[in-house]
Structure 1
Amino acid sequence: MRAAAGRIRAVFADAGCTGRLHARRCDLGAAGEGPPGGGAEIEVDGRARVVTASVYKLVLLVAFCRAVEAGRIDPVARLTVDPAECTPGPTGLAALRDPVTMSRRDLATSMMTVSDNAAADVLLGEIGLGAVEELVAELGLTGTRIVGGTADVHRGLLRDTDTHTTAEAFAALADNDEAHTVSAYDPAYTSATTPEEMTRLLRALWAGRVLSPAPTAFVRSVMAAQVWPHRIAAAFPHRGVTVAGKTGTIGVIRNEVAVVEFPGEHPVAVAVFTHAARADPTLPVVDAAIAEAARIAVTALRRPLDPAAAPEPDTCR
């Protein structure tokens, strides 16, 4: 594990970014149960606090499912959202032209599969920030704090960059000739977590210890349907391998948390959070570093479900 951690640090250094990672094998029994601490772990500064960016949507999704279980929210009730009045974003509702009517459950699906900012803020308004805070406290995620939605982040960016529109704010962030100190980059001022707490949450979700079976299956399915192939999923293009993840991106921040499942093996939860030295809107080298770091960690932790069985060949090299 120490050798793997050293290789991961080198990957981040070569990509020109600060990287923090935690991965743990989810040693689950036949009924999905297992020891609360999970299986073997590997980390690179995995207990440091980091900016969540859109990874917060995973916590919001779980809080939404909890509200559905408690009968406070009807998941199939329909809401009408006007794109002209919703949170800006490159995907989902904000990319449309006309008002859209859809169920809360479909809003949650859009929030996760294409990282729909507008859908996320609608759902946050439906369940309330208090419900998210209660979930975090109940799960003992003491290093995790969700302070608001994407609209709140955007308001902070306008203030910190002294701009008037979200487009202007992001253009300012992408200028490598200007050094902007913004609250969205500081875990002390924005929604934050630790890589270890995210893999702990994922492990508990996969074990069925957070939600009942139906919402657990829903969470796993929408995470597996995420459309972005350029980070953790890029490390595991093999047939039969499932990567259920959630990305997060804002300016120099690029993240992803995921559960990687090889057939006949224990799932492995992995969380990678990076802070790039450059501010370019696209940084394929950092995306590739996230993939490679995840590949190294998951490869080190892979084990067959049957402990008596011989390990499968390493197909991730």
Structure 2
Amino acid sequence: MSSTSRGDTTRGGGRTSGGRSVEERIRAVFADAGCTGWLHARRCDNSAAEISISGHERVVVASVYKLPLFVAFCRLVDAGRIDPTTRLTVTPSECTPGPTGIAVLRDPVTMSLRDLAASMMTVSDNAAADILLGETGLGAVEDLLDHLGLTQTRIVGGTVDLHRSLVRDTDTHTTAEAFAALAENDDAWTVSAYDPSYASATTPQEMTRFLRALWGGTVLSAEQTEFVRTVMRHQVWPHRIAAAFPHRSVSVAGKTGTIGVIRNEVAVVEFPGESPVAVAVFTRAARADPELPVVDAAIAESARIAVTELRRPLPQE
């Protein structure tokens, strides 16, 4: 194992021909983008190989919380405690606001719980997520995390709870006003949503451990495992980890998370004939602009460097 600084490790890799370690290259990517970055990557096999940039530090998950909620829902389906075909009629004006999904519709819609889960994951539908959390229960998410031994991962509530905290912390009246306040670069906001001590949080290392267990088929039944993989492969956002692998034969199954200066994504990258690689990238930008393509590009590039280092052919039978 080589180590460049505290919290930065590589097992199974090393230095490039240019003399810089993988960690040094990734840290340079984050620095050039004007953000702090945390990363962990590992293959979804029994290998101890890993890439870590402060991967054991706790970070804010933002909408990445929808992934453990999704899996907790599927676990209840496996247990026969939820019928995924149960249909609910939802009125958009009464839902959690958001830029995608049900919240942007005008008329009531009827959807199955399974389709609500798919909308939550593929377009990061806030309204669908809060409805699904109400049906699944926070206790089911906690049970899942306990079952997997993810002791540093904590989900404290849904999107509506997050929005309430933002309105309170910014001393505004609406969610829209709160987000407008956070986008002002002249104001250095310290809000609980940015603090892993108060907000839903995890570590990059626990997220890749979660993904490895999920891809290994040890968390859900074969049917629900395939459902989760398929839905995650249909996430629509191409601007972060997926941008690093613009090849038709490469599959990226991910979940993004964004709030203010926080931009994240966790994903499993699959090359044909190779072991899948789980990678988790969490960032906090120096600027508060609602769109920061340079940080999105840094998430892609750091993931590309880490995944490339860990790629290995599947064992021959």
* Cα distance in 2 between the residues matched to 1:26 and 1:40: 10
- Partner of 1:260, secondary structure, is strand
How far the C-alpha of 1:207 sits from its partner, in A, is 0.5
Corresponding residue for residue 32 of structure 2:
14
* Cα distance in 2 between the residues matched to 1:46 and 1:87: 32
Corresponding residue for residue 304 of structure 2:
295
Corresponding residue for residue 4 of structure 1:
22
Corresponding residue for residue 99 of structure 1:
108
* Cα distance in 2 between the residues matched to 1:73 and 1:212: 15
* Cα distance in 1 between the residues matched to 2:75 and 2:316: 34
* Cα distance in 1 between the residues matched to 2:197 and 2:292: 25
Corresponding residue for residue 183 of structure 2:
174
* Cα distance in 2 between the residues matched to 1:100 and 1:259: 32
* Cα distance in 2 between the residues matched to 1:165 and 1:39: 47
Corresponding residue for residue 68 of structure 1:
77
* Cα distance in 2 between the residues matched to 1:307 and 1:291: 30
1:255 and 2:264 equivalent?
A: yes
How far the C-alpha of 1:6 sits from its partner, in A, is 1.1
Asked whether the 8 Å contact 1:161–1:169 carries over to 2, the reply is: yes
How far the C-alpha of 1:306 sits from its partner, in A, is 3.0
Corresponding residue for residue 230 of structure 1:
239
TM-score, structure 1 normalization: 0.93
- Cα deviation 1:128-165 (Å, max 9, x = unaligned): 11111111111100000000000000000000000111
What residue identity is the alignment partner of 1:189? Y
* Cα distance in 1 between the residues matched to 2:188 and 2:203: 26
What residue identity is the alignment partner of 1:294? A
Post-superposition, which runs of at least 4 consecutive aligned residues in structure 1 deviate over 6 A? none
- Gaps of at least 5 residues in structure 2 are 1-12, 15-20
- Cα deviation 1:172-208 (Å, max 9, x = unaligned): 0000011111000000001000000000000000000
Corresponding residue for residue 314 of structure 1:
none
Corresponding residue for residue 10 of structure 2:
none
* Cα distance in 1 between the residues matched to 2:248 and 2:25: 26
Asked whether the 8 Å contact 1:26–1:39 carries over to 2, the reply is: no
How far the C-alpha of 1:238 sits from its partner, in A, is 1.1
How far the C-alpha of 1:39 sits from its partner, in A, is 4.1
* Cα distance in 2 between the residues matched to 1:242 and 1:119: 25
How far the C-alpha of 1:307 sits from its partner, in A, is 6.0
Corresponding residue for residue 53 of structure 2:
44
What residue identity is the alignment partner of 1:179? A
* Cα distance in 2 between the residues matched to 1:270 and 1:179: 30
What residue identity is the alignment partner of 2:187? E
Q: How does 1:141-220 map to 2 (within 5 A)?
A: 141-220=150-229
TM-score, structure 2 normalization: 0.93
**Of the candidates 54, 59, 63, which is equivalent to residue 54 of structure 1?**
63
**Of the candidates 259, 272, 281, which is equivalent to residue 272 of structure 1?**
281
Pairs aligned (count): 299
Corresponding residue for residue 25 of structure 1:
43
- Cα deviation 1:71-114 (Å, max 9, x = unaligned): 11110010011111100000000010111100000000000000
**Of the candidates 252, 257, 269, which is equivalent to residue 243 of structure 1?**
252
* Cα distance in 1 between the residues matched to 2:240 and 2:180: 23
- Gaps of at least 5 residues in structure 1 are 28-34, 309-317
- Cα deviation 1:209-228 (Å, max 9, x = unaligned): 00010000000000000000
What residue identity is the alignment partner of 1:60? L
How far the C-alpha of 1:26 sits from its partner, in A, is 1.4
Corresponding residue for residue 129 of structure 2:
120
- Partner of 1:80, secondary structure, is strand
C-alpha RMSD of the superposition: 1.0
Deviates more, 1:227-236 or 1:62-71: 62-71
Q: How does 1:298-309 map to 2 (within 5 A)?
A: 298-306=307-315
Corresponding residue for residue 312 of structure 1:
none
What residue identity is the alignment partner of 2:283? T
* Cα distance in 2 between the residues matched to 1:99 and 1:204: 37
